[in-house]
Structure 1
């Protein structure tokens, strides 16, 4: 019985998160009230959201956690099968961009939520703070490539920021509508950073 209740609660939370993402993507953060999310989710009352989430901020944090966790799992799985550091970097770029294209509403929702979400210290998230975990991971990957001799000698922090910037630029263009040949962008980004990092 307890397991059944836990599964039911998890399903309801997932239903609310999905409805909140769609509502924010369509209406924006400011207009995404519990009433609107309730309507989108097909629930009888906003109290059903309040049962699972303390307030709007709690719900927004859950959206951020869910999307970032899904992205990390998608990217990590593709990097894990690569044996070389260069292969892992290629997989990182391709998987990041594929995830962005496959989850446009989630990306819009994250962009809308970002300025309103606070970190554990109470400070607002910024594009720089949001990038930081990925930049740290890239720094470790690039350093490993230099140690193995696969990558040339370059300034690792600068390269990590440039790689992350190329991914984030794609997210912004996707949100802006048509005009970017996404497959070509993926090919060019991968080629550009392979040429920029590889040992001669």
Structure 2
């Protein structure tokens, strides 16, 4: 059955709105990565996106915080999907840990502007109650998943005995450290860093050590 004119029109508007939001988010990421959070005004983002007026941003996002939350959600979702897909292809805990580390560093390498934008947004991010996010609260979901993976490796005999929460904090900290060094001079060699990370934690976790 063919869609009615009203349904077709609504679908077209939905697609157009989604495309416009994506255009604004991409422009905001580029602006923040280049100029920093403080200078990423709606006027500058409008110019970068090629829009006619900042009101076009205000139509889609309530304020700057709303736009920043959307950036964080989209980047985190894309990263989680990429990393989860790589881990799903592994059958052992050791293989999943290796895939986790490699995929995290590959995502950082392939999305440097998004990572720079997140680094800039981080100190200014607020939760639904207006309270600032902390590095601890931001890391918590990933830490829980890592701790569960490490515990599974201990149960299977692949990993030695250690405190899984402490090890998860160390691993997550090592991954996050790469993100904040992307802007440095010279820039971090992410591939080399990734290889060292994999070797370090393979030795740190393996049974019999």
TM-score range, shorter chain: over 0.9
> Counterpart of 1:150?
158
> Counterpart of 2:202?
194
Residue 22 of structure 1, CA deviation: 0.6
C-alpha contact 2:105 2:191 (8 A) present in aligned 1: no
Q: After the TM superposition, which residues 1-200 of structure 1 pair with which residues of structure 2 at under 5 Å, given as runs?
A: 1-200=9-208
Question: 1:108–1:180: structure 2 CA closer, same or farther, 3 Å change rule?
Answer: closer
Distance 1:151 1:120 in 2: 39
C-alpha contact 2:36 2:120 (8 A) present in aligned 1: yes
C-alpha contact 2:25 2:67 (8 A) present in aligned 1: yes
C-alpha contact 2:116 2:182 (8 A) present in aligned 1: no
Q: Aligned residue pairs: how many? A: 200
TM-score normalised over the length of structure 2: 0.92
Misfit runs of 4+, over 4 Å: none
Task: Please identify the structure whose Cα radius of gyration is greater.
Answer: 2
Please give the secondary structure, in 2, of the residue aligned with 1:153. Answer: coil
**Over the residues paired in the alignment, what is the CA RMSD in angstroms?**
1.1
Residue 2 of structure 1, CA deviation: 1.3
Unpaired runs of at least 5, structure 1: none
C-alpha contact 2:119 2:179 (8 A) present in aligned 1: no
